[in-house]
A and B are shown apart, each in its own frame.
Chain A
Amino acid sequence: EVQLVESGGGLVQPGGSLRLSCAASGFTVSSNYMSWVRQAPGKGLEWVSGIYSGGSTYYADSVKGRFTISRDNSKNTLFLQMNSLRGEDTAVYYCAGGHFDHWGQGTLVTVSS
């Protein structure tokens, strides 16, 4: 059974940083397209970033230059390093694997002073 488990969310001040993790089981992160999708409270879905099996990475304009997607193949884990956080980054962050076949339960990031 495939499981994706996000962690690392929490409360952070504007301008701060946070690193999200997405640990996979029953599924190989390095062999699949992986992505991060977020959802602000009461709002719709927003694609944030994706990484292909070959290592190419892509970002939404809203996070480009501030967020970095990466993976640790030995830990079978996907990451999202988030810097220079803003209030509008407040959202539940989901990781999704294999062209969105599998989703985690999400982790809440709140950016507030």
Chain B
Amino acid sequence: QAVVTQEPSLTVSPGGTVTLTCGSSTGAVTSGHYPYWFQQKPGQAPRTMIYETSKKHSWTPARFSGSRLGGKAALTLSGAQPEDEAEYYCLLFYSYAGVFGGGTKLTVL
């Protein structure tokens, strides 16, 4: 089974910009992996922020954007807010089976 890698932790200043990445042990992340990004706060269910690399839901704040960068999927937060402090998980699909990354704990400080 493939391994999906994320930064364990990142810190961003309020109003700052940060990029979280999601890599695959099998090589470059492509659109065929259908990258997802989820936000999870303590005691809550996850919430989808980005799907299929860069698509947003109606509830996704404009400051969040998804892309592919250097062979990885990327989630960029521009203008971080205190409420963005959370755990972020990426999910990639390999022949219809999903694999989550280990998560990135994002601190807004």
A and B associate in one complex: yes
B99 at the interface (CB under 8 A from A): yes
8 additional A-B residue pairs with CB within 8 Å, beyond A50-B96, A99-B51: A44-B102, A45-B91, A45-B103, A47-B91, A50-B97, A50-B98, A52-B96, A61-B97
Q: Are A103 and B100 in contact (CB under 8 A)?
A: no
A88 at the interface (CB under 8 A from B): no
- Show 23 residue pairs from A and B whose CB-CB distance is below 8 angstroms, ordered by the A residue: A37-B46, A37-B100, A44-B87, A44-B101, A45-B40, A45-B46, A45-B89, A46-B100, A47-B97, A47-B98, A47-B99, A50-B97, A50-B98, A52-B96, A56-B96, A59-B97, A60-B1, A94-B45, A94-B46, A100-B36, A100-B48, A101-B48, A104-B45
> CB within 8 Å of A: which of B29-78?
36, 38, 40, 45-48, 51, 57
Closest-by-CB residue of B relative to A59 is: B97
Distance between Cα atoms of A45 and B99 in the complex (Å): 9
Residues of A within 8 A of B (CB): 35, 37, 44-47, 50, 52, 56, 58-61, 94, 99-101, 103-106
Contacts of B89 in A (CB 8 A): 44-45
Closest-by-CB residue of A relative to B103 is: A44
Contacts of B57 in A (CB 8 A): 101
Contacts of B46 in A (CB 8 A): 37, 45, 94, 100, 103
